[in-house]
Structure formats: C-alpha cells, structure tokens
Structure 1
Amino acid sequence: MSTPDSTALAQQMSTRFAFLITGLAMSAWAPLIPFVKSRLAIGESTLGLLILCFGIGSLLAMPVTGMLVNRYGCRRVITTSLLLMCISLVCLAISPGIPGMAINLLLFGMMLGGTDVAMNMQAVVVEKASGRSMMSGFHGFYSLGGIFGAVVMSALLWFGLSPFHSLLSLTAVLLLMLAYSAKDLLPKAESETSGERDPFFVLPRGKVLLIGSLCFVAFLSEGAVLDWSAVFLNTLRGIDPVYAGLGFACFSVAMTIGRFTGDKIVNALGGTRVVLWGGLCAATGFLLVVFVPHSAAAFIGFTLVGVGASNIVPVLFTAAGNQDSMPMGLAISAVVSMGYAGLLAGPAVIGFIAELSSLSVSFGIVALGLLALAALAKKATTK
C-alpha cells in the first residue's frame, strides 16, 4: 500500500520522465534533417516549408490541450500524445514523398505541442502539492533529454545504422520509459474537481496575457541563439563554421546547469528576483556579444544568455498556474502557445531585421526585450 509521500514522489518522478522523453524525442529529429533532405531530393526552401509544418502542428495543438487535459486528465493526454509522437518520429525516416513528410511533421508537431502543455500542467499541480519550487528541475530534464537525444542519434548514425533503425532503437527506449512512468501520471486535472468544464478555447487576458508576452520574449531569445549564434560567429567574428556551433553549445550547457540548480535558487530568492536578474543577465550576454568585437566575448555572452534565461520560463509557467484571472489549464495553454510563437516566429523576424540592418542590431533589440522583461518581473510573478 502506497503512502502519501511515496505517491507524491512517484508523481514527481513521472513528471521528470515526461519532460525527459519529450526532450529526447524532440532532439532526435535534428540529426535526421540532412537525411530527409537527401532522401526527398529537396532544396532549402522546400525543407524550410516542411519544418514549418512541425511548428504549425505545435501551435494548432497547444491552445486546445488545456481543455483536453481538464476533461480527460494528464495521464490520458500525455500518454496518448507521447505514444503518437513516438510513432510519428519513426515514420519521419520512411515518410513517402513531400506530402507524406508534411503530414507526418504536422502530426509530430501536434503531439509535441500537446505533450508540452499537458506535462507543464502536471508539473504545476505536482509543484503546488510539494510546497516548494520544482519547475526548473522538470525543465532541466527536458534540456538533458535534448542533449542526449541529439548525441545518441548522431552516434547511432555514425556507427552505420540507417535513420529508420536508429529511430526505431531510440523509440523503443522511449516507449519503455513511458510504460514505466505512465501509471504515476495524474489521472485528472486539478480543475476537474470543480465539476465544471472549461471552454474549448479562449483568448488570454489579464495577467495571463502579460505572462505570455514575457514568455514570447524569453523563447525568442532562445530561438535567437539557436538559429543565429553560429551565423553571427561565422560572419561577424570570423570563426570557422566547424566551430561556430560552439556558441549554442555554451548556451545549452549553461541553461541545463542553470535549470538543475534553479529550484534551489528560486526557493532562496523567489520567482520575482529570478526573473528580474535572469532577464538582466541574459540582456547583458547579448550586449556583450554585440559590443565587444572578440570571439571569446561572444562565447561568454552566449553562456550568460543561457544562465540568465534558464529559469525565466519555468518561473513564468508556475506564475501562469498560480494566477486567478483564467482557469489553470487554459492559462498554461495560452502561455505555452505564446512562448513557442516566439521560438518559431522570432528567429524569422530577427533574420528580417538583420537583412534590413545587421545581425548586431537584431541581437540588440532582443536585449532590449529582455530588459523590458526584467522590468515587468514583479508584476508578472506576484498576485
């Protein structure tokens, strides 16, 4: 017979597994992209449109997942989404033709988006029950999965396995992890106890709109480093393309370490100070990259961005779950959707601004956005 303490620990562990599995599945796609491009014999523009299908799928699923979780529970939604995500992940290696790949990427994106909202709803409920900050640690497992997923897939491909067999091997591990942890996922959502059903979709309002806007800025800064740091280092700092990706590596390692230490920091300083100082640290990183014309300064700057940004989103997600202007499920859906809009659309906007001026100007604008985020930290994170 399980005790309350053992049940809570099992729910916390199942939440960590959900974040880890999602990070592993998400990152497994990246090493596959060159193989997809070669197999389908397509150019960069067509490949870009296919990748856009992934983003569209995520944004389609995120706004309605909160309602689905409130009706069917975290366990059903997370388990179903992860199962379909694993199936679609394997199919990415064998999808016939461009239409088939587009449909599969749309499904993969939808399942990832749905899982992202549902597991963050589970994380908010589990964190509340624990009485302490846990969100950063949960997101740390997503980051850890992102690192290991890319490394494992790259290693399997390097050892000579085909993309299909590589994905099949990884997916088998993901399904075993899901089978082990699914029973401890929350059977229902917190808001189901009220006896009322949330509407299918509502526009964000009040504090949720503010929190979502700050998430947009935070995710945009992450997307800026992901998509543009290597280009910046190569074109403006003269670093060889082989080493230009190290800027993102510095950012990723700093973010992962920051998230695994973030819960202690949030418990010690409070969410408001973490968002305030995190925004200032990330902004300082971008300004260092822009204004100090040396490659070492750029690497330090991207590291500072990772440190500063690491715990902003987890704290904002917790704030979305604790506010009272919207039901928790709808609030998490709205905030996650707005955040990922920044991750997906932001880099394109940065590229457009860079085309009109320079990439330095684009990074400078991102820094200003992070300073605004820091200024609004108290308003967003306090009731």
Structure 2
Amino acid sequence: MTDVRLRHGRASLALSFLAQGATFALLVTRIPAIQDRYGISDALLPAFLAAVPVLAGAGSVVAEKVVARVPPAVVLRWSQPVVLLALLGVGAGDALWQIAVALGVFGLAVGGLDASMNMLGVSLQRAYGRSIMLGFHAAYSLGGIAGASLAWGGAHWELSLLVSYLPVVAVLLPAALVASRWYVHGHAGQPTASGGGGGGRDSGSGSGSGETGASVPFRLLLPLCLVMSFAYIGDSTVSNWSAKYLQDVLGGSEELATVPYNAYMVTTLLGRAVGDLGVRRFGPVAVVRAGSVLAGAGFAVVALAPGAWTGIVGFTMLGLGLCVIVPQTFAAAGRRAFEAHGPAAGDAAVARLNIFNYVGFLIGSPLVGALGDAWSYRGAMLVPMVMVLVTLGYARSFATGPARYGGGHERPRTVDVG
C-alpha cells in the first residue's frame, strides 16, 4: 500500500468523522424544535431520547457480526447515508410514529457508523505506525461545532427542521459517498481499499476470520470498557448539565449559561488537534493519565466554584482533559485484541467497546440529575470526578510495546502531511 493511498484513506475517513459530528449535533441541538413539531410530551421525551443510544448499542453489536463477513469500509459506506437520510426524515415527518421510525433508524445506523469509523481509524493508525486517532476525533469535534452553529442559525431564523436539514444532507450525502471510494482498512501494514469492487480484504480478514473476532475474551477489554463509560459519563454531564449548573447553582445569566458547553467543545477540538503529537512524544499512558488528572481537576473546580466565571474555567479544563481519553481507548482496544487474537479480533473489540460509549451516555445525565435532586448539584459533580480519576488505575491498559503499531512504511521523523 502506497503512502498516497494511505493519505487518501485518512482524508476520506476524516471527512466521515466530520460529517457524523455535524449530523449528530444537528439532531441533539434541535431537540426542543423536534418536541414541538411532533407534540412529544415532557413525560414521553426521555423515552425517545433514551431509545437512540439503546438502538445505537444494538447497531454496534450488529456491526461486529457483519464485519466478520464484509469489510468495515462497506459498513461505513452504507451506514452513513442511512444516518443522513434518517436525519432528513426527522425533519420531514409530522406524526408521532414517523419520528419514532426516523429516530429508530438513526439509532441503529449510527451504532454501525460509529463502530466502523473507529475500526478503520484504528487499522489506519496501525498502518501509519504512529498516533493519528485523535485527529479523526478532532474532525468529529469540528463537525459538531459546525452542526451546532448551523442549528443555532436555523433556530435564530426560525427555519423549519426540514429547511435546516435539507441543505446539509444535500452536501454531506454525495460527499460521503464519493469519499467512501478511498476508505482504507489496514491489517499488519497491509491495508485494503474499499473502492472499486468494495469487497476486497487481505487474507487475514476474510469471512472465515469472524470466529477469531468473536473469541475476544471480555476480560481483555473490561478495563477499557470501564474507561469508555466513565469518559462518556463525564461528557454527558457537561453536555446536559453545564448550562443549568452555571445558571441555577453559580448564578450566571441565561446568556452566560451557554458559554460552558461552547468552551468545552472548542477546547475538545483544540486538545484533539494537537493530542496525537503528545501521544507520539510521551506515549498513550502518559497522555491518558494527564487527561484524567486534568478532567478530575476540572470537575473539582466546577464543584467548588464561587462564581460563574470560575465554573467556566472548570468546564474548559474538562474539555482539554476528557478529549484525549475516548480516541486512545478505541486505539488501545483494537491494538490489544489484534495482538492477542488477530485482525478480526481488533475490529470486534472496537465494536464491543463502542457499546460502552452509549452506556456512559445513558447513565451520566440521569445519574447527575438524581444526585442533584436528592443531594446537591455541587456534590453531584464530584461523582463523575471520581469516575474519571479511576481511569488512572487503568492507565497501563493503554501501554504499547516496540513495533506494536506495525506498518513501518514511514520513517519516525517523517513530517505528518496526511
């Protein structure tokens, strides 16, 4: 596999991450408008919101089985358009059953999409021989900021959901389909492209390797599954409670209450944009430890903040700390399973780990809300702090050894132009 094909594969996958970040942001930031359009009651809304990650977890399980027969690139190529069309369906309907179907399709497809994207990212990182996973997740963060900005514009100009979503889907859908021609799936430095016939895989990852992937013992992934859940509990705490916390607990204005999440998103993007350099220089264990300590300190600042601006500083620290953990967890899971059980096991491990993304999302917001109501919201912020700090005890699970990335197609000091 030439360097050019690897760079094309890397760029096309980054576009997929960016498109998914924008798509998801457009959905979650317009939830009030969706609720109004379909007449969803406050009592029914949590069920709709919980259904998406539950079905996404199911989609990730299905993706694990499917990639035993077809390449992850094929799963990604077709799941991304389904996600985009499901988003369009959310904006086009007007009956309750229609939004239920649209969100159901969105959830199932997004599980396969998230799993296959990260499978390709982990395998490309192995082919490159150096850390590049954080860059893909930086593209996701950039897409999320773009999507949230477009959603703000749609709400500001009082555009209908369909009018807000249609131009975005019209741009991203053909772009994703065209870019999918250059997806690359690498195993042990021998990537295979999904373009052309769309079904080619190397000899170690054909349909017969599915049993190898299924044999990955859960104990191999358990520490990383816990880390993934804790990271997303922290992330969902910020996304769901930062505005309310700043306004109700720290006395900030309604306008100022919008700042913490924006600051969190921007610092997440910045941290991921430079994070790969830190991994290459200091190693994943040191980077994950530093991120965990910074995130724990951020939650402590938020819990003890005397005023709104100090709270914003804490949420900013959280963005810089949490942003490195999830990409490195995917990378570590794929690497550990690959080394222990072979190529298909690496894909299966990523799919299984992806489920705990949704587990953390489902647990985080209700947990903080229940603790806040029963105890105090300041005290509730200490719970995700402890969970994030527990990651320090699992930091060794991120360790790499000599030549563990394989590949070796480029010199260690090659300038990163891909």
Tell me, yes or no, whether TM beats 0.5: yes
**Amino acid across the alignment from 1:372:** V
2:218 pairs with 1:221 = no
Q: Tell me the distance in 2 between the aligned counterparts of 1:177 and 1:126.
A: 21
1:301 pairs, out of 314, 320, 327, with 314
The within-5 A match list for 1:163-202 is 163-186=161-184, 187=194, 192-193=205-206, 195-198=208-211
- Residue identity in the other structure for 2:378: S
Contact 1:25 1:89 in 2 (8 A): yes
Q: Partner residue of 1:331?
A: 349
* 1:293 counterpart SS class: coil
Deviation at 1:208, TM superposition (A): 0.7
Residue of structure 2 in register with 1:52 after alignment? 50
Asked if 1:285 is matched to 2:298, the reply is yes
Deviation of the 1:93 alpha carbon = 1.2
**Alpha-carbon spacing, 1:87–1:200, altered in 2? closer, same or farther (3 Å):** farther
Match of 1:257 in 2: 270
- What does the per-residue CA deviation read over 1:47-98, in whole Å, with 9 as the maximum and x for residues that have no partner? 2222222122211111231231232112210111011111111110122422
CA distance in 1, matches of 2:141, 2:287: 19
Question: Aligned runs of 1:340-359 on 2, under 5 Å?
Answer: 340-359=358-377
Q: Pick which of 326-335 and 282-291 moved more.
A: 326-335
Say whether the 8 Å CA contact 1:202–1:330 is kept in structure 2: no
> Partner residue of 2:404?
none
Percent of residue pairs bearing the same amino acid type: 26
Structure 1 residues 24 and 378, CA, compared in 2 at 3 Å: closer, same or farther?
same
Q: 1:39 to 1:26 in 2, by over 3 A?
A: same
After superposition, give the CA deviation of every residue in 1:281-326 in whole Å (9 maximum; x if it has no partner).
0000100111232222111111111101111111111100100356
What does the per-residue CA deviation read over 1:2-35, in whole Å, with 9 as the maximum and x for residues that have no partner? Answer: x711111111111101101111111111343222
**In the alignment, which residue of structure 2 is the partner of 1:22?**
20
What is the deviation of 1:364? 0.6
Contact 2:14/2:136, CA 8 A, preserved across alignment:
yes
Which 5+ residue runs of structure 2 have no aligned equivalent?
185-193, 195-199, 402-418
SS in 1 for 2:209: coil
Q: What is the TM-score with the length of structure 1 in the denominator?
A: 0.94
> Counterpart of 1:232?
245
CA contact (8 A) 2:69 2:207 kept: no
Aligned to 1:147: 145
CA distance in 1, matches of 2:356, 2:328: 15
Letter in 2 for 1:368: V
Partner of residue 270, structure 1: 283
Measured after TM superposition, the shift of residue 101 of structure 1 is: 1.1
| Whole-Å separation in 2 of the counterparts to 1:267 and 1:359 | 38
The secondary structure found in structure 2 opposite 1:43 is coil
Count of residue correspondences: 381
Moved over 3 A (4+): 156-161, 188-191, 198-204, 379-383
> Per the alignment, do residues 379 and 39 of structure 1 end up closer, same or farther by CA in structure 2, a change over 3 Å counting?
closer
Report the CA distance between 1:153 and its aligned residue. 3.2
Distance 1:200 1:261, change over 3 A: closer
TM-score scaled to structure 2, two decimals?
A: 0.86
2:93 to 86, 95, 117: 95
Contact 2:52 / 2:104 at 8 angstroms: preserved in 1?
Answer: yes
Q: Secondary structure at the match of 1:37?
A: helix
Equivalent residue in structure 2 for 1:247, among 260, 270, 278: 260
Q: CA deviation at 1:366?
A: 1.1
Amino acid at match of 1:91: G
Greater CA deviation, 166-175 or 150-159? Answer: 150-159
Alpha-carbon contact 2:138-2:272 (below 8 Å) kept: yes
